Amino acid sequence: MVIDIARLQRDPWFERVVALAALTQAAAAVKQVARFGSVRDPLATRVLIDSVLNQNPTTVVEMYPDLSHLRLGLESLLQQIGATKDKDVEVTRYVVGILALERRLQRNAKALDQLGQRLQQLHRQRHEFQFADDTVLAGMGSTYSDVISPLGQPLKINGKQEFLNQPSNQHLIRALLLAGVRNAVLWRQLDGKRRQFIFSRQRMVRVAQQILRELREHSEPLS
């Protein structure tokens, strides 16, 4: 799939919306795991996990070279901030909780230092020692539990106990929440602010719609 990234990048809101879509995708993926036992699109999970371990991207496009992998996040973002009345209160609650944890993280130098050390270790485990994906996910989950979660009120996850009780799903949910925090940090670095949800909502909606329109126009037809 080839879309005109250069044209999209000319909009100053493009990178901010992509980061926010990734954050929202993490929240939507958490809901899917908790309620259905898995994320419907495995690539939607993979791109988020990769974003956590990519600590020094030069651009958002380098971090997310294939925007089709953020389709879930873009659609979920539009559902939350667009004109539709069909809001997903659960996803909104997760997004708000993730943003609150990111703010607390930024104010805690010790936690930031611990997080940096843990992520460097995880990066080495995957790229130097080729640890199995399950091991890396478990490490990401424990990083969230040890470093991020204690910063605020525990984020309550709703779902079916048969799925929530599975250790592999617990690791995945926490890893996805860690990815949400990572992309909240990215959004903030790109001058994202909470007040933009009120005063710049329509601008964000237009950019997200434009990206999705590009993805639809350049999607490969089924054979």
Domains and CATH numbers, the chain: 5-217 (1.10.3890.10)
| Whole-number pLDDT of residue 205 | 97
| Whole-number pLDDT of residue 4 | 66
Statement: residue 1 has pLDDT above 80: no
11 vs 25, residue with greater confidence: 25
Torsion of CA 216, 55, 140, 15, to 10 degrees: -30
Per-residue confidence at 160, pLDDT binned at 50, 70, 90?
very high
| Whole-number pLDDT of residue 222 | 42
Per-residue confidence at 10, pLDDT binned at 50, 70, 90?
confident
pLDDT digits (tens, 9 = 90+) for 110-154: 999 999 999 999 999 998 888 999 999 999 999 999 999 999 988
Mean pLDDT of the chain: 93
| Whole-number pLDDT of residue 95 | 97
| Whole-number pLDDT of residue 213 | 94
| Whole-number pLDDT of residue 223 | 37
Torsion of CA 26, 30, 36, 37, to 10 degrees: 100
222 vs 81, residue with greater confidence: 81
pLDDT digits (tens, 9 = 90+) for 38-96: 999 999 999 999 999 987 888 899 999 999 999 999 999 999 999 888 899 999 999 99
